[in-house]
Structure 1
Amino acid sequence: MKPQQKETYVFNTRFGKITALKEEGVIKAKSIRYARSERFQKPVPVEYSGMDITFPDKTPVCPQKLSPLVEKMIGATPVDEFEPDESTQYLSITRPEHIIENEKLPVVIWIHGGSHEIGCGDLPTADPAEWVKEQNIIVVAVSYRLGLFGFLGGDEKRAPNLGLLDMIEALKWIKNYIEDFGGDADNITMLGQSSGGDAIAHLMISEGVDHLFQRVIIQSAPLGLRHKRQKMSAEFLKKTEIIKDETDVYKMMDDYGQFVPSVIKYGLKAAMPFGTQYGFPPLCREEESVEKWRSTAKKYDVLIGLNNDETAFYLKTSEALNKYFGKGLGLKIMDKTVEKTTDLIYGTPAKIFAENHAKGGGNVYLFRIHSRLKDNHIGAPHCIDLPLIFGNEEAWKSSEMLKDIPWKNIHEHGKKLRALWAEFARTGKISDQSERPEILKIQKIES
């Protein structure tokens, strides 16, 4: 029996004719290039050329090293379906197959996580089709430069914050063209998880973003690692100077690991050596950041939060640590370590961020996702929010993180969570009457 042939759909847009795929109730326009760049240079927006735009056979991704932990806990990366591309300015649009004529749907822009080092906008585990169909929204997934190419720099030859600048170009493209896909250009919500949430928080105080988005959903942003990174970044930049002109990107990816800053020397922030850098465009100086967030608070509705056991993703999955801390007194020490590090990196910074936003007159909600399963030793770790938001059972079937969690549990809680997040994207509010999953604690923060 032949596999079912996928049906195509053509969007006639002001950017050009864009060929998309119809499948299972949604239309996907994949890997649309929104900008171009040379190595270590700022992105240049792509202009209308009159040429037809078709999706590539393989998904373009920024060159990167696979993470054994991510491969184990989330699932194997389909590397055969990817094509390395240093100029990784692409976006993909997923919308319902059937919409009312002239209807303008709320738009959610997905900024993926991965420590500013790995991932892309188009992973099966973040396929938004389920959410799009349930809630009648449009989701735009953005890919951008990572690691050495996007989040390390600091001199005239290697500009910092290039990944952020890529995102800004994507936002401009979406603002200009999303109405041609049925989206509302004046109702745009940015959604980011982990380093994607960190990036969105910093986009709120970036130059050149006025009127490009109205709301943000920040999940599990490691804002506790954002402070005093200058010396670490300068050292990392200097040490990687010898590989900056390497033409073989695979060799470049193999080599840079030996130059990663020491956690012993720089503390926990060295666990995420790539990142946003204050004092360089489009960001202010670090000492100005809190006041800048407060002064822009009225511009953005904010939904920010975390999972209750974030660092269990790293600590409780370590065979070496489990050997000594997997039971008895050792397990109590492990649980306390997870609690303390989760609050240090994620919990307390999220609370401070929310309170500062409220003090600035902004509308803000703070949430926390818990595990309610008695036999789930890992609790609610980093990334547990992803299957809740995106669903896609097939994509998550090999996930070690979910091995003790029935998919029915994920689906039932996820459907309610997706409805709440879509409500926020539509209105900037979450009604007291809206149904909440029992795993979620959420509160509106008042000034």
Structure 2
Amino acid sequence: MLVGAAADGVESFKGVPFAAPPVGPLRWLRPQPPPTWQGERPAADYGAICIQPPANGDPGVGPLPMSEDCLTLNVWTPEARGGAPLPVMVWIHGGGYNNGSGTAALYDGTKLARRGVVVVTINYRLGRLGFFDHPALAAERGREEPAANYGLMDQIAALEWVRDNAAAFGGDPSNVTVFGESAGGAAVTQLMVAPSARGLFHRAVVQSGMGRQRSAELALDRPGRPSAQSLGRAWARGAGLAADVTADDLRAVPAERLLSPMPAFYSDNLIVDGVVLTEDVVEAFAAGRQAPLPLILGANSAEFWWIRPSDAGAYGRTDDAMTEAEHDALLAAYGGPEGYDQHVVSDLVFNEPARRLARLHAAGGHPTWLYRFDVVPESNPGPSGGATHASERPYVFDNLHTVGRPMGERDERAATAMADYWTTFAATGNPNGPGRPTWPEFGAERDRLLDFTNHGPVARPIPNADRLDLIEAFYDRVR
């Protein structure tokens, strides 16, 4: 029995274990069944967030404490239930697979639950605790044992928990929507192609989830793409561990030591292991091997406006592979160097890949809806030229009070619209409903989307399609 809390017409149950604590000998193993208990278990407070580096002000991280014992989830359900089971929405947080948690106030599910859904937020292992391999670990496991993608395995274990337990909270285990942002959005697409996740969810929402990223293989090095085991060996060497380090030695390393240097999402945490993930997302979508379910996906209008294409770091130098002719054509399409520098990384990483996945999914005959988020609060004027990365999250959850600065009436309208579209989609598999603009289905009206603007949602052709066409041609050449 769980003893939760009730407030504002919603019951909440927090810190619920969905897997055994992945500590000691369970570090770097697939998630194991959660411990059982007798009688009542308090469930009014969040569990610990997973081990991660400092938050740097990200409101999607959540409060301390921090622990390896972090595989818990949180449930919000309407207090007044009855009749038909309710749709279930499972949130996968972002943070580059290095940060974040399901415990942040930003992700409180109260306002979504009031709309008639059951909301679940989860923690999953991060960084080198969640995405890591080493030859010493490989030596102790069987050939068919899944490896490296422990954070993704945690997400699948949480979905299995939802399948087995949603009904106890008034939810319908046959109507589960997975939604996530940034790394969480990328996780949703990975779950759509992961064989062991098939059938655990029935609709999907991908918010700024990239789409063209390439993964490392488990043990095979590729040019410019070291394997997961090579990366693990390099970390161990840099950490001063002996060349003949054992799996037991690795598991004895204090968790905090695994944070330095911080792994980069775009290089260290994307792994095709051959069991949990057998191929990259874009290849699976191109071959029609993704889950054939209704899909919403999109991006923000000025995602990474501050990252210049010449910058090194997690996303590398994004334009190094361009020919001079490709670079010149893009400069002209962006109106010159300033527009190119400000927007090309966002288009390369988010906007064009979202369009690509939408086209591939719709081509398979699957219901698809594409969006663009371009709402900018009046209290946040700046040089971004649009809505920055992750800025849509408080609107989706209708939690504008967590933003930390004044939000106006137009923000309230935008939050109401997004939360209504999202929860209607969870209920019916179609985001459209009475009292708001019609969101065109992408396959029926090719290359049209819903643009969330300061003046309300507007159905329109994809903005800046000429730029995206040039980027698509570039990807077709280099990939």
Name the TM-score class by shorter chain. 0.7 to 0.9
Which residue number corresponds to residue 353 of structure 1?
357
Q: 2:87 aligns with which of 92, 99, 106?
A: 106
Counterparts of 2:285 and 2:59 in 1: how far apart (Å)? 40
Q: Is the 8 A contact 2:97 2:126 kept in 1?
A: yes
**1:2-151 equivalent positions in 2, closer than 5 A:** 17-36=1-20, 37=22, 38-46=26-34, 48-55=36-43, 59-68=47-56, 71=57, 74-75=58-59, 79=63, 82-99=64-81, 101-133=82-114, 135-151=115-131
More helix by share: 1
Counterparts of 2:2 and 2:235 in 1: how far apart (Å)? 39
**Per chain length, whose mean CA-contact separation is higher, i.e. which structure has more relative contact order (CA < 8 Å, sep 6+)?**
1
Counterparts of 2:351 and 2:277 in 1: how far apart (Å)? 24
Q: Is the 8 A contact 2:303 2:389 kept in 1?
A: yes
TM-superposed CA distance for 1:50, in Å, is 3.7
Higher mean alpha-carbon deviation, 52-61 vs 191-200, is at: 52-61
Q: Secondary structure at the match of 2:173?
A: strand
- TM-score w.r.t. structure 2 length? 0.73
Length, aligned pairs only:
389
Q: Please provide the CA RMSD for this pair.
A: 3.0
Which residue number corresponds to residue 265 of structure 1?
none
Which residue number corresponds to residue 421 of structure 1?
422
TM-superposed CA distance for 1:43, in Å, is 0.7
Counterparts of 2:99 and 2:282 in 1: how far apart (Å)? 29
Q: Secondary structure at the match of 2:77?
A: strand
TM-superposed CA distance for 1:435, in Å, is 0.9
Structure 2 counterpart of 1:34, which letter?
A: F
Counterparts of 2:461 and 2:76 in 1: how far apart (Å)? 30
Q: Secondary structure at the match of 1:192?
A: strand
Counterparts of 2:273 and 2:460 in 1: how far apart (Å)? 33
Q: Is the 8 A contact 2:215 2:267 kept in 1?
A: no
Q: Is the 8 A contact 2:55 2:61 kept in 1?
A: no
Query: Cα 1:56–1:290, aligned 2, differ >3 Å: closer, same or farther?
Result: same
| Pair 1:256-2:261 in alignment | yes
Q: Is the 8 A contact 1:365 1:442 kept in 2?
A: no
Query: Cα 1:63–1:51, aligned 2, differ >3 Å: closer, same or farther?
Result: same
Query: Cα 1:76–1:27, aligned 2, differ >3 Å: closer, same or farther?
Result: closer
Counterparts of 1:363 and 1:410 in 2: how far apart (Å)? 28
Which residue number corresponds to residue 179 of structure 1?
167
Counterparts of 2:342 and 2:429 in 1: how far apart (Å)? 32
Q: Secondary structure at the match of 2:272?
A: coil
Q: Is the 8 A contact 1:199 1:276 kept in 2?
A: no
Query: Cα 1:411–1:352, aligned 2, differ >3 Å: closer, same or farther?
Result: same
| Pair 1:198-2:192 in alignment | no
Unaligned runs of 5+ in 1: 1-16, 261-269, 319-330, 398-402
Q: Is the 8 A contact 2:297 2:369 kept in 1?
A: yes
Unaligned runs of 5+ in 2: 139-146, 240-249, 312-334, 438-451, 463-479
Q: Is the 8 A contact 1:388 1:415 kept in 2?
A: yes
Structure 2 counterpart of 1:18, which letter?
A: L
TM-superposed CA distance for 1:136, in Å, is 1.4
Q: 1:309 aligns with which of 295, 302, 314?
A: 302
Counterparts of 2:460 and 2:200 in 1: how far apart (Å)? 27
Q: 1:290 aligns with which of 279, 284, 287?
A: 284
Higher mean alpha-carbon deviation, 337-346 vs 305-314, is at: 305-314
TM-superposed CA distance for 1:247, in Å, is 3.9
Q: State the identity as a percent.
A: 24
Residues 167-195 of structure 1, C-alpha deviations (whole Å, 9 max, x = no match): 11111110111011000111100010000
Query: Cα 1:210–1:335, aligned 2, differ >3 Å: closer, same or farther?
Result: same
- TM-score w.r.t. structure 1 length? 0.78
| Pair 1:236-2:235 in alignment | no
Counterparts of 2:294 and 2:434 in 1: how far apart (Å)? 19
Structure 2 counterpart of 1:256, which letter?
A: P
Query: Cα 1:286–1:138, aligned 2, differ >3 Å: closer, same or farther?
Result: closer
Q: Is the 8 A contact 2:362 2:368 kept in 1?
A: yes
Query: Cα 1:179–1:443, aligned 2, differ >3 Å: closer, same or farther?
Result: farther
Q: Is the 8 A contact 1:293 1:357 kept in 2?
A: no
Residues 374-423 of structure 1, C-alpha deviations (whole Å, 9 max, x = no match): 844322010111111123344221xxxxx5x7343322211111101111
Q: Is the 8 A contact 1:297 1:357 kept in 2?
A: no
Which residue number corresponds to residue 387 of structure 2?
380
Counterparts of 1:95 and 1:152 in 2: how far apart (Å)? 35
Counterparts of 1:31 and 1:143 in 2: how far apart (Å)? 10
Query: Cα 1:312–1:441, aligned 2, differ >3 Å: closer, same or farther?
Result: farther
